[in-house]
Amino acid sequence: MAVNEGAVSLGDGIGLVLSESRGTAMTVSEPRQLTGGASRQVWAAEARDADGQSLAVVLRRDPPGHGDAERMRAEAACLRAAAAAGVPVPALLASGDTAPGIDAPYLVMDMVEGESIPRKLQRDPELAEVRTHLAEDMGFVLGSIHRADVDTLGILDAGDPLDALESVYRDLDDPRPAVEVGLRWLRENRPAKRPDSLVHGDFRLGNVLVDGAGIRGVLDWELAHLGDPIEDLGWLCVRAWRFGAQPPVAGIGTREQLLDGYERATGTRPSDAELHWWETYGTLRWLVLSRFQAQRHLGGSEDSIELAAIGRRVCESEYDLLLILGLLDGTEVPPGETTPGPSLHDRPSLSEILDLVAGTLRDDVAPVLDGAHDRERYLLRICVNLLGMAGRELGAEDRTGDLRDLLAAVGCGSEAELAGKIRAGSLAYTDPAVSRPISTAVLARLGVANPRHLLPASRD
């Protein structure tokens, strides 16, 4: 992606806002876009003052043309409040609704050193010692966040999160039985609400910087709001944020460790039932947010292979939701593959071509990309994953007939009709005859999208 935005380059734009905020002239090297950024762009650069003193900085900005100035102002307020509460966060150096060269709402912060890549945090031998207490550390940091003074945070949303989530889902106009099941269970089992606190909203591996001593920085406050603090703890336990590992807290620790750290910071300890409710809410939340993100691409508002790929992974959260509620019905294995019939075309077959291309990109192209091409390597992995999905779909067993029969057994002609009847209460989601078609559809989709996600997972 080009870094020039109009007459002023992105680097010059960062230099201008830093010069104004610091009261001294600053020059900035050419920014480098970091990986990720499905909702916001993140750029790293080096700033220098007139004496040659250097400062590593990070720019977070909305994609030009898709800005939300009020949301960015709220994020800046959260960083200030969190810092005042002793939370390790990057220092906020400059912020604004827009600026020449930046051309979008933005934050400029100092660069905090540390590791954020989940797989490295889970596996790197150099971080083995910190992993023994990282779950407890995360609980303590969350407790510190929840002790922040909310008097300066009136700009934040304080609405009911379940109502808001349901509203987003309804606006998508994509009825899904698993979502309706989750909504009904959550409304029927909701615990008493705690007093409003600052809620980070996306506290997980990937959004914390860690070194050998512990947590160095908490990042990405764009989803922060006022609400029940246990929401953050439940979100950290959602299976998606274990990144394939087994331990229930971020793939690195136990719920007991998490709650020990939280109790040490706040003097309170949530009950198991309370944490389970918020973990279930978080699972449903990620399901709906994934579908919402995919719609940004599918609806034509933003052309993005990242967002497109997320659409095929919604079934992971559907599966996790049924699993955590004990409603998954069916054999937890990928659907069998069929032998392709006769073809007019010579080999390699279409599925073989997809495998060959994916393997070449993964094994021959990706390894030669150096650190200057982190973004490209990230996109390449997405392409490889999409090619794998396409190949598996070509070879997967057609389950539409089985699903049609199961839906007919409960008087429904489609998944959308089943979703409507669950919502209306005319079908009980606890009835095995109802959970069977839901599970069949989810398992079939997941067997194509990501068969590895079907491995047994335990809440413990």
Residue range 82-95: mean pLDDT, rounded: 97
Q: Per the structure block, which two tokens stand in for 255?
A: 């719920």
Q: pLDDT-based confidence at 368, cuts 50/70/90?
A: confident
Residue 332 has pLDDT above 60, yes or no: no
Q: How far is CA 303 from CA 323, 368, 384, in A?
A: 33, 27, 18
Q: How far is CA 407 from CA 184, 419, 434, in A?
A: 20, 11, 8
Q: Which of 18-32, 35-49, 87-101 has the lowest mean pLDDT?
A: 35-49
Q: What percent of the chain has pLDDT over 90?
A: 76
Q: Which of 25-39, 134-148, 399-413 has the lowest mean pLDDT?
A: 25-39
Residue 69 has pLDDT above 50, yes or no: yes
How many Cα atoms are found within 13 Å in the side-chain-facing hemisphere of 289?
A: 16
Top pLDDT among 220 and 373 is at 220
Top pLDDT among 364 and 129 is at 129
Q: pLDDT-based confidence at 207, cuts 50/70/90?
A: very high
- Three-class SS string for the chain? CCCEECCEEHHHHHHHHHHHHHCCCEEECCCEECCCCCCCEEEEEEEEECCCCEEEEEEEECCCCCCCHHHHHHHHHHHHHHHHCCCCCCCEEEEECCCCCCCCCEEEEECCCCECCHHHHHHCHHHHHHHCCHHHHHHHHHHHHHCCCCCCCCCCCCCCHHHHHHHHHHHHCCCCHHHHHHHHHHHHCCCCCCCCEEECCCCCCCCEEEECCEEEEECCCCCCEEECCHHHHHHHHCHHHHCCCCCCECCCECHHHHHHHHHHHHCCCCCHHHHHHHHHHHHHHHHHHHHHHHHHHHCCCCCCHHHHHHHCCHHHHHHHHHHHCCCCCCCCCCCCECCCCCCCCCCCCHHHHHHHHHHHHHHHHHHHCCHHHHHHHHHHHHHHHHHHHHHHHHHECCCHHHHHHHHHHCCCCCHHHHHHHHHHCCCCCCCHHHHHHHHHHHHHHHHHHCHHHHCCCCCC
Best mean pLDDT range from 1-5, 350-354, 366-370, 401-405:
401-405
Q: Decide: 457 and 321 in contact? Cβ < 8 Å.
A: no
Q: pLDDT-based confidence at 223, cuts 50/70/90?
A: very high
Top pLDDT among 1 and 97 is at 97
Q: Per the structure block, which two tokens stand in for 48?
A: 């220098």
Mean of the per-residue pLDDT values of the chain: 91
Q: Which of 23-37, 174-188, 309-323, 416-430 has the lowest mean pLDDT?
A: 23-37
- Separation between Cα atoms, residue 212 and residue 444, nearest integer Å: 42
User: pLDDT value at position 63?
Assistant: 87
In tens, the pLDDT along 266-325 reads 999 999 999 999 999 999 999 999 999 999 888 988 888 888 899 999 999 999 999 999
User: pLDDT value at position 406?
Assistant: 96
Q: Decide: 11 and 30 in contact? Cβ < 8 Å.
A: yes
Residue range 383-405: mean pLDDT, rounded: 90
In tens, the pLDDT along 148-168 reads 999 999 999 999 999 999 999
- Separation between Cα atoms, residue 266 and residue 198, nearest integer Å: 13
How many Cα atoms are found within 13 Å in the side-chain-facing hemisphere of 335?
A: 23
Residue range 193-200: mean pLDDT, rounded: 97
Q: How far is CA 145 from CA 7, 70, 130, in A?
A: 41, 21, 21
Residue range 334-353: mean pLDDT, rounded: 67
User: pLDDT value at position 399?
Assistant: 87
Residue range 359-383: mean pLDDT, rounded: 83
Residue 192 has pLDDT above 90, yes or no: yes
Top pLDDT among 83 and 344 is at 83
User: pLDDT value at position 135?
Assistant: 98
